[in-house]
Amino acid sequence: MNADLVTAPAPVPATSHLERVAAHACQLRPARVADAAQIHELIAAHLEEGHLLPRRLAELLVHAPRFVVAVHGDRVVGGAELAPLSRSVAEVRSLVVHRDARHDGVGQRLVQELVRRARLDGFDRLCAFTHGPGFFARIGFSIVPHHWVPEKIAVDCQGCAAFRTCGQHAVVLTLQRQPARA
Ligand SMILES: CC(C)(COP(=O)(O)OP(=O)(O)OC[C@H]1O[C@@H](n2cnc3c(N)ncnc32)[C@H](O)[C@@H]1OP(=O)(O)O)[C@@H](O)C(=O)NCCC(=O)NCCS
């Protein structure tokens, strides 16, 4: 084989949009309906890696206010949803941070913001279903048996083809209510 004819594969860019984003340059804010398309794109791009549930754009347009997003300028580089499962239990759902903004605390800040919101909204427990329980353990969540979160099983798991075989860990954080202001 003529080595001159062998061309190296083109390098795959880490991202099509961004250079490395410093965490301090990212701001967290409540998501707006106008962010739904970018949130959708971010989730869709990390479905496999994050074992994320696919989300439809129409659903995200409705539920955008439940999300907190990390933004760098006008780009959404991370997001997570506070999804109520019952009056007392909420779930961290669709947590994702763009690769170029990772390892700098943005994911942790997103979850901490959902914890704050969940407390304010009066939830007793916040849960997540994840293949990466270590990330949540660092924030104070505990790994629990799935049946400790029957709300999740009723809402999502029972109708799922991977019920009992999904390999996800249930993690839960017990929330302390915010003291009422005098
Ligand atoms: C998980 C994720 C949101 C973390 O975002 P991040 O901004 O890098 O998070 P932080 O900087 O706050 O924390 C990073 C730390 O979390 C831990 N962590 C991250 N991903 C992890 C995983 N899959 N399993 C276990 N621990 C993990 C590591 O300790 C990591 O430390 P390091 O930076 O020294 O490697 C991001 O990696 C991501 O979007 N992954 C793809 C989607 C996904 O897995 N979502 C979670 C579904 S529940």
Calpha distance 57→125 (Å, rounded): 28
pLDDT, tens digit, for every residue of 125-144? Answer: 999 999 999 999 999 999 99
What does pLDDT average to over the chain? 88
As a whole number, mean pLDDT of residues 143-161 equals 90
- Measured in Å, residue 114 CA sits from the centre of ligand 1 at 16
Within a domain: residue 179?
Answer: no
Domain that residue 68 falls in: 22-174
pLDDT, tens digit, for every residue of 69-105? Answer: 999 999 999 999 999 999 999 999 999 999 999 999 9
Atom of ligand 1 at shortest distance to CA of 108?
12
Give the amino acid at 24.
Answer: H
Residue closest by Cα to atom 42 of ligand 1: 50
pLDDT, tens digit, for every residue of 37-46? Answer: 999 999 999 9
Number of domains in the chain: 1
Within a domain: residue 3?
Answer: no
Within a domain: residue 147?
Answer: yes
Residue closest by Cα to atom 33 of ligand 1: 103
With CA atoms as reference, report the closest residue to 55 among 88, 90, 83, 17. Answer: 83
Within a domain: residue 38?
Answer: yes
The CATH number assigned to the domain holding 140 equals 3.40.630.30
144 DSSP β-pair partners: 170
- Measured in Å, residue 86 CA sits from the centre of ligand 1 at 27
Within a domain: residue 2?
Answer: no
CA 89 to the chain's CA centroid = 17
Within a domain: residue 8?
Answer: no
Contact criterion met (CB below 8 Å) for 23 and 101: yes
Largest distance between two CA atoms of the chain: 81
Within a domain: residue 181?
Answer: no
